[in-house]
Amino acid sequence: MDKKQISGNDWINKCIFFLTGQTISLFGSMLVQYAIGWHITLSTKSGLMLTVFIIFGCVPQVLISLFAGVWADRFDRKLLIVIADSAIAVSTLILAILLTFGFDNIWLLFIISAIRSFGAGIQTPAVGAFLPDIVPEDKLMRVNGINASIQGAMMFIAPLAAGGLYGIMGLASTLWVDVVTAVIGISMLLLIKVDKVVKKIDEQSHVLREMTSGIRYVFQTKWLRQFLGFYLIFTLVLGPVMVLTPLMVARSFGDEAWRLVAHEVAFATGMTAGGLAVGILAKKIRNTAHMVIVACIAFGITTFAMGFSPNFWFYLGVMLPMGVTWPFINSGSMTVFQTKVQPEFLGRVLSLVSIIINASVPLSMAIFGPMADYVRVETLLVITGAVMIIIPIFMMRFKEMIAAGQQLPEDETAVTEVDSVQ
């Protein structure tokens, strides 16, 4: 298999430009997502409406992701990112104009959220597949760690900024921020020159056939099948800790707004620190699969411990290290995919990862959401935390997946490939 070789230090400037532009764009997107969610919460005070909002925000991304993976393998990834970002910005602009002129219908917010979700579904696999086009393989772990740290910082800054802007200016004015940040992000991306990557796809082949070949590739590659299966099972039990913990805070510790802000800040602070740790430790990590498994066990332990929180300060003390573990899971998984999946299938594989993540949220909530009305959230955290500990321990038995996690030392330029095990 031929992989693109990247040499010299020019990649550093490209990477800085790319991550800076994406960070600015991400800030605007997160700002709008928080603002719309809060607007729906305050204007309807309805759990049903929030559920509908989640569905409109997740399902379109799931539906488009398989096609988006094929497009990321077949077409110019930079152009795909630009088109997706532009579509999201235009939809946000239309919503801002309509709100300014008094069209404040709740279903309008749902429709725009669905359009933004379609755009994110196209953008996510393209961004993941684009990074290996500009970053050397042996530097991907460090770059993914830095990117995770940036995302953690955005999770810290965005809700605070969204709360201030939404409270002072309202939803319509807040939306304009996303339009401006999208223009900046797109402009910076267009300045990055990327050598044309030869893609081994028949231009006459049908999109559905390429999609099927991508799924076949996953099922025929044993380590990848194991990794995605592990990812699916693990994410299905994330519902209580990722979605229901604010409900636990309100029920058990108090419904003051500062507690929910502290909840977000604690996780985001930990995530920022974890991302930096991944970047610093990248060259010392020899097996990324081991790192992911250990991080998943640590995440499960913190989830389990959170279920026994005697007070809010203990809860925050557990939330902080939980946030630290998250970049080790995400960055490690992404690095394995980026370095071990054949380049002509990378977009499709990352689209499957996106589908797993986005489908697991509503599926997990369909199971645990109704249960939370009859069972304490703390009990659900103890149960799911125990499951999170057991799953990765069991996955240590899969030798092919462990072998796929073997990383290159940073001073090595040769490209290695894990053979597909039928």
pLDDT tens track for 321-370: 999 998 888 888 888 887 888 877 777 787 777 777 777 777 877 778 77
At 371, list the tokens: 């249960």
Cα–Cα distance, 393 to 380 (Å, whole number): 20
Q: What is the pLDDT of residues 4-28, one digit of tens each?
A: 555 556 788 888 888 888 888 888 8
DSSP E strand boundaries for 61-218: none
Rounded to the nearest 10°, the torsion over CA 301, 307, 313, 318 is 10
Dump the DSSP string for 302-341: HHHHHTT-SSHHHHHHHHHHHHHHHHHHHHHHHHHHHHHS
pLDDT band with cut points at 50, 70 and 90 for residue 284: confident
pLDDT for 2 equals: 45
Rounded CA Rg of the chain: 21
Return the structure tokens found at 73: 């393998």
Helix (H, G, I), strand (E, B), or coil: what is residue 287? Answer: strand
Residue environment code for 292-313, b if the CB has 16+ CB neighbours within 10 A, otherwise e: bbbbbbbbbbbbbbbbebeebe
126 neighbors 189 (Cβ within 8 angstroms): no
Render the burial of 51-66: b for 16+ CB within 10 Å, e for the rest. ebbbbbbbbbbbbbbb
Closest CA to 405 of 348, 341, 323: 341
**pLDDT tens profile 130-170:** 877 778 877 777 787 777 777 777 777 777 777 777 777 77
DSSP 194-209: -PPPP----TTS-HHH
Question: Which residues, listed in sequence order, are joined to residue 406 by a DSSP beta bridge?
Answer: 287
Instruction: Report how far residue 279's alpha carbon sits from residue 211's, in angstroms, rounded to the nearest whole number.
Output: 34
Q: How far apart are CA 290 and CA 285, in angstroms?
A: 9
Taking the CA atoms of 418, 67, 32 and 49 in sequence, report the sign of the dihedral they define. Answer: negative
CA–CA dist 187, 361 (Å, integer):
33
Whether residue 315 contacts residue 303, with contact meaning beta carbons closer than 8 Å, is answered with no
First to last CA, the chain: 17
Identify the CA nearest to 86 among candidates 154, 179, 192. 179
Cα(327)–Cα(145) distance, integer angstroms: 7
pLDDT in tens, 382-418: 999 999 999 988 888 888 888 877 765 544 433 334 3
Show the domains of the chain with their CATH numbers.
10-191+207-404 (1.20.1250.20)
- Of 60, 54, 55, the C-alpha closest to 355 is 60
- 87-120 pLDDT, tens digit per residue, is 888 988 998 898 888 777 888 888 888 888 888 8
Percent of the chain with pLDDT over 70: 87
Written as six digits, the tokens of 291 are 């790192």
Cβ atoms 106, 206 nearer than 8 A: no
pTM tops 0.85, yes or no: no
Q: Which of 119, 133, 149, 144 is nearest to 57 (CA)?
A: 119
What pLDDT, on a 0 to 100 scale, did the predictor assign at position 304? 96
Rounded to whole angstroms, the Cα distance separating 151 from 155 reads 6
Distance, C-alpha 112 to centroid of its chain = 20
* Range 59-78 average pLDDT: 79
Tell me if 401 sits within 8 A of 254, measured CB to CB. no
Q: How far apart are CA 11 and CA 145, in angstroms?
A: 17
In tens, the pLDDT along 203-226 reads 445 666 777 777 788 888 888 888
